[in-house]
Every structure is written in structure tokens, then in C-alpha cells.
Amino acid sequence: MGEIVYFAQQSVDGFIEGPEGEFDWPAVGPELSEYSRAAGEQAGAFLYGRVVWEMMSGFWPRAEELSDDPHDLAFAPAWRAKPKLVVSRTLQGAEWNTRVLADLDELAAAKKEAEGDIVLFGGSELAAALTERGLIDEYRLIVHPVALGGGKRAFADPGRLGLELSESRVFDGTAVLLRYRR
């Protein structure tokens, strides 16, 4: 049985998107890029809600055409090859080695069958729903040195949640990993 890991980049004031939905603020230096790439390679599958899936599937299949960023170029092949799960009531199908799950019961069953961890990238609403159901085993929050003053929170009202710090680490002298277990 795999574990579900919530991996999110957030501002110091707790937002994963700015007030206009912008995501141009994470400071991804070489150390954080390598950590993220390695985490992606070690994952058994990637997990998304429909909105984040549409953003990811619009970029990663063509990353080499759209970006010259070394992080993007290193991660793109792993993204394309890795199995992906999308939780959605409206999405009928998806490409790129992707399985669409209609609800959280299907995800709970997929978690029991998983070979390796299932990593949820972003998606605060899905993260809150999974937290409420007790399906997230680990939270990996990368805190960046920026205050956005508004936007979408990393946690969409998860309620009170007691966690145990299992690791903290600084990347590139700017971003901080806070790794928590349930």
C-alpha cells in the first residue's frame, strides 16, 4: 500500500497562488529543483484534481517547446512517463498514462493497490478533502520568501490538524521544506 503525499509550494503567508491566480513567485534554485525532481522520480504516481491536471497536461507534454528552464527540462520526461491519477466528476478521460477517478472512494482503493507513494502536487481543495477523509499521510510544504497578501490558500479550510514534524531543510538559501506526518 502506498502513501499519499501532499507536495505544495506556498508563500510565507500560506498561499499557493497569488490574488490573480499567479504562480510566478516560487524561487526554484538548483537544490530545490533537484529535490523536486528526485521526489517526482521516487513517486509511484502523481495525483491531481481536474483544474491542476488541465494546467499540468497543458504544459508538461510540451515543456521543451515552451521553456528553457533547466528544472522544467529535467522534470518533463519523468512527468510524461509517470502514472497519473486525476480525481474528477466531470473529466471523461485523459492522456499521458492517466487514470481518471470519479470520487475519493476510488482514490482510497487506488491507494491500497499503489506500488509506491502517490504525490499530490498542489490542489488545495483536493488536499482539504483528502485531509478530511484521513487519506494524506505526509505533507511536504515548500515555503518561499514572499508574502502574496491574498490568493488561494495551501489548505482550503482543513480544520484543526495535528501533525508531527519529520524534516526541515533550507534550499538554495531561500526556500524551506517543512515535512510533516499525520
Is residue 182 in a domain?
Answer: no
What mean pLDDT do residues 153-182 have? Answer: 90
Is residue 79 in a domain?
Answer: yes
Is residue 150 in a domain?
Answer: yes
What 8-state DSSP symbol labels residue 20? Answer: T
pLDDT band for position 158 (cuts 50, 70, 90)? low
Q: What is the CATH number of the domain that holds 145?
A: 3.40.430.10
| pLDDT tens readout for residues 52-77 | 999 999 999 999 999 998 888 988 99
Indicate the number of domains in the chain.
Answer: 1
User: Residue 92 belongs to what domain range?
Assistant: 4-177
Give Cβ neighbours of residue 52 (< 8 Å, ≥ 6 apart): 121, 122, 123, 126
What mean pLDDT do residues 162-173 have? Answer: 96
Helices (H), the chain: 30-42, 50-59, 63-66, 70-81, 104-113, 124-132
Is residue 97 in a domain?
Answer: yes
Is residue 20 in a domain?
Answer: yes
